[in-house]
Amino acid sequence: MVSSSDILHGKVLIVDDQDVNVLLLERALAGAGYVAITSTTDPGEVCELHRRHHFDLTLLGLMRPGTDGFQSMDGLTAIETDAYLPVLALTAYPAHTLRALQCGAKDFISKPFDLAELLMRVRNMLEVRLLHEAARTHGRMLESLALTDPLTGLANRRLLADRMSVALAHAQRNAITMAVVYMDLDGFKKINNTLGHSAGDALLKTVARRLVETVREGDTVARLGGDDFGIVLA
């Protein structure tokens, strides 16, 4: 879940060619409790600012001298490689709203601003953005758990099999050799029975660390389960 505090700490960029609009938006957001607000009237700064700060939401004026919001959205799309563009388009021209949405903006609001509506749209968009980020983080965690051993952080059996297939194909294609090592720990069950599972877990972590330190960077060390380890030496 995304809390109200998370939303109010979301990083917001305000972009408009009119100082009065920027000031109005800054005051409205600050008055609503937002604490991470950046603003600019220079369209050339938009992409670089986003690269540096990874804003959760950009309030983007569509028409500005020298460039326009559509060009800025093209630049932001290139940065946001996950295809999620956190842009709330600001426009005084109703004809531009559809184009803004087609270019990737997630929502729009018309000028002159209805501040109550603007604040609600900002809050909703930040909530969606933060939920999107939380889902991505959760997805990466699940992906990592699917391929790694949760105790030692080593590759698991599934990832070892994949690395082994790649190494075998490479060896066959280049007429070179590779090796697969299987090992287990003698007397490991006795350690668990006498010292407890926490001591056994500590030992497994130590062995995992020493194995990783011993092999080359391109080799793969895996825990297959229990006290069983496998190593692919490419």
Q: Going residue by residue through the chain, which has 234 residues, state the pLDDT in tens, using 9 for 90 and above.
A: 678 899 999 999 999 888 999 999 999 999 999 999 999 988 778 888 988 898 999 998 886 545 567 777 778 877 776 657 788 888 887 777 788 787 778 888 888 888 899 999 999 989 888 888 887 777 777 776 678 898 999 999 988 998 998 888 888 888 999 999 999 999 999 998 999 999 999 999 999 999 999 999 889 999 998 999 999 998
In the chain, the N- to C-terminal Cα span, in Å, equals: 44
CB-based contact 111:130 (threshold 8 Å): no
Angle at 224 between CA 222 and CA 230, to 5 degrees: 45
